[in-house]
Amino acid sequence: MKISFRGDYALKAILDLALHYNKGLVRIQEIAERQDIPIKYLEQILLALKGAGYLNSQRGAKGGYYLAKDPKKIKLGEIIRLMEGPISPITCVSKSCYKRCTEETKCVFRPLWNKIRSLTEGVVDKVSFADMCRDYEAKNKKKLDMYYI
């Protein structure tokens, strides 16, 4: 698996909205500024995430985006797959590829790619955005402690 900017931006956008879960609408521009993402690019990404059911939005003045699901119920792996495609070091491990390894019994590397895929999935499909929010806040608290202690 490889994370591109697009995927990275998507994860950051969802995290940003998860941190504002049940706290009203968030404008694209706010997310773009906080997460340092080009706004016009972010627009496209948010639309894709909305299309996939992760976000809802409201147009017009006072409009904005908000998370459509509980952050506890969104795993990182879902977003990564949506933005980057199947999680696998080589395409032919995923069912959608018929190109390589047509004689699959011949490919002696395949078990390794499967192993790596399943280890990777073991990470990204276990962690939710609620977990990420917790980590984020813990990290922030720690920082504040440094000032107050």
Partner DNA sequence: TAATTCTCTACTTAGTTGATAGAGTTAATA
Partner DNA sequence: TATTAACTCTATCAACTAAGTAGAGAATTA
Contacting a second copy (CB under 8 A), which of 8, 30, 43, 125? 8
From a second copy, DNA, none, interface partner of 11 (C-beta below 5 to 8 A by class): a second copy
Of 15, 33, 122, 32, nearest in space to 79 by CA? 15
117 to 146, contacts with a second copy by CB under 8 A? 119-120, 122-124, 127, 132, 135-136, 139, 143
Question: Which residues contact residue 91 at a Cβ distance below 8 angstroms, ignoring those fewer than 6 apart?
Answer: 97, 99, 100
* Among 28, 49, 81, 113, contact with a second copy (rule: CB under 8 A): 113
Residue with smaller CB distance to a second copy, 74 or 76:
76
Q: Is 54 in the site for a second copy (CB under 8 A)?
A: no
How far apart are the C-alpha atoms of 79 and 100, rounded to whole Å?
26
Q: Is 60 left (phi over 0), alpha (psi -120 to 50) or beta?
A: left
- Give residue for tokens 């696998």: 88
User: What is the Cβ-side half-sphere exposure of residue 14, based on CA atoms within 13 angstroms?
Assistant: 34
Among 2, 28, 54, 57, binds a second copy (CB under 8 A): 2
Chain residues that interact with a second copy, rule: CB under 8 A: 1-3, 5, 8, 11, 15, 76, 89-90, 100, 105-106, 108-109, 111-113, 115-116, 119-120, 122-124, 127, 132, 135-136, 139, 143
